[in-house]
């Protein structure tokens, strides 16, 4: 290879390397761009049949493979740590029943989403029940509706609630039925964020029974029984900081991390490549 050819080759190599480095780094910004411009305030389908919704205050997962059969699992985004997703409450299909049939195993489920509402249809030969999940900036509304009246036993989980409707965990040793009401208010703590959380569930009709279940350090579930053709649960929550939080890491921060990873790996490659070329040139010079 002549010197001229070698120079042209080197130029081409350098050009291609620069293009490829720029390509890698540019693509690494895709998650961030998507997260900032396209992912807000609409239902997004992903994976093998999961959905999520993100707005300024809430993050909702439905059927996420790592989150299990919690349909939906509502998280709250604290104003002082917007990228953190703190579990507020999960409606568990796995432990809920309609007309004595388990919601997870006893029904054929189909999901359809438009940007603002997720419509989940649970069907059996004798009945079809729709679960609509509608999110606004200040609440998440879960509506269960059917053309026929149905009896439901729903379980709402959170690990763990420190008090429910003003009753602290210290006062309850076994499952407790609370007075009929359409409002459930609960509190919880987040040790990592050093924060105190408040949750509120407003029901559209009076349920036949509400029960709260104590666990080791707090209540871990609320069960609601009702008979109706429609019932809505309007869930809202908030958090207040009471201490100095440790650095809060969250999955939501990954879009910011990806470009850093890309730039670091590409920079390392360029350094090693340059060093290798310098060594090669030195060896070539010495041998000639």
Q: Is 38 one of the binding residues for other proteins (CB under 8 A)?
A: yes
Taken in order 265, 268, 272, 275, is the CA torsion positive or negative? positive
CB of 160 to other proteins, least distance (A): 17
CB of 35 to other proteins, least distance (A): 8
Q: Is 45 one of the binding residues for other proteins (CB under 8 A)?
A: yes
- For other proteins (CB under 8 A), the number of binding residues is 50
CB of 185 to other proteins, least distance (A): 28
Segment interacting with other proteins, rule: CB under 8 A, options 47-55, 131-139, 174-182, 207-215: 47-55
**Contact indicator for 121, 110 with CB cutoff of 8 Å:** yes
What gap in Å lies between CA 217 and CA 91, rounded to an integer?
Answer: 21
CB of 24 to other proteins, least distance (A): 5
Q: Is 269 one of the binding residues for other proteins (CB under 8 A)?
A: yes
What gap in Å lies between CA 130 and CA 110, rounded to an integer?
Answer: 10
CB of 82 to other proteins, least distance (A): 16
Closest CA to 167 of 211, 233, 224: 211
Q: Is 255 one of the binding residues for other proteins (CB under 8 A)?
A: yes
- For 128-149, give one letter per residue: b (16+ CB within 10 A) or e: bbbbebbbeeebbbbbbebeee
Q: Indicate the burial class of 33 (C-beta count within 10 angstroms; 0-12, 13-18, 19 or more).
A: exposed
Binding site for other proteins (CB under 8 A): 1, 5, 9, 13, 16-17, 20, 23-24, 27-28, 30-31, 34-35, 38-39, 44-50, 52, 65-67, 108-113, 249-251, 253-255, 257-258, 261-262, 264-266, 269, 273, 287
């Amino acid at each position: 290879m002549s010197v001229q050819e070698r120079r042209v080759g080197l130029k081409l190599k350098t050009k291609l390397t620069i293009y490829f480095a720029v390509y890698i780094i540019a693509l690494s910004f895709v998650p961030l761009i998507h997260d900032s411009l396209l992912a807000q305030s609409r239902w997004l389908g992903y994976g093998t049949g999961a959905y999520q919704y993100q707005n300024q205050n809430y993050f909702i997962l439905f059927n996420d493979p790592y989150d299990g059969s919690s349909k939906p699992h509502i998280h709250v985004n604290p104003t002082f740590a917007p990228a953190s997703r703190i579990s507020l409450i999960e409606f568990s299909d796995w432990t809920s029943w309609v007309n004595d049939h388990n919601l997870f195993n006893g029904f054929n489920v189909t999901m359809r989403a438009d940007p603002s509402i997720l419509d989940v249809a649970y069907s059996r030969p004798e009945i079809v029940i729709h679960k609509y999940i509608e999110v606004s900036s200040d609440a998440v509304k879960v509506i269960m509706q059917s053309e026929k009246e149905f009896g439901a036993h729903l379980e709402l989980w959170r690990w763990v609630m420190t008090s429910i409707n003003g009753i602290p965990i210290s006062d309850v040793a076994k499952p407790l039925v609370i007075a009929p009401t359409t409002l459930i208010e609960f509190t919880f703590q987040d040790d990592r964020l050093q924060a105190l959380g408040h949750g509120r569930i407003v029901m559209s009709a009076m349920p036949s029974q509400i029960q709260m279940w104590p666990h080791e350090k707090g209540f871990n579930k609320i069960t609601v029984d009702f008979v109706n053709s429609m019932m809505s649960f309007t869930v809202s929550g908030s958090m207040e900081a009471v201490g100095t939080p440790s650095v809060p890491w969250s999955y939501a921060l990954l879009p910011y991390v990806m470009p850093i990873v890309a730039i670091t790996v590409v920079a390392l490659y360029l350094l090693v490549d340059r060093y290798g070329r310098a060594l090669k040139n030195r060896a070539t010079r010495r041998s000639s």
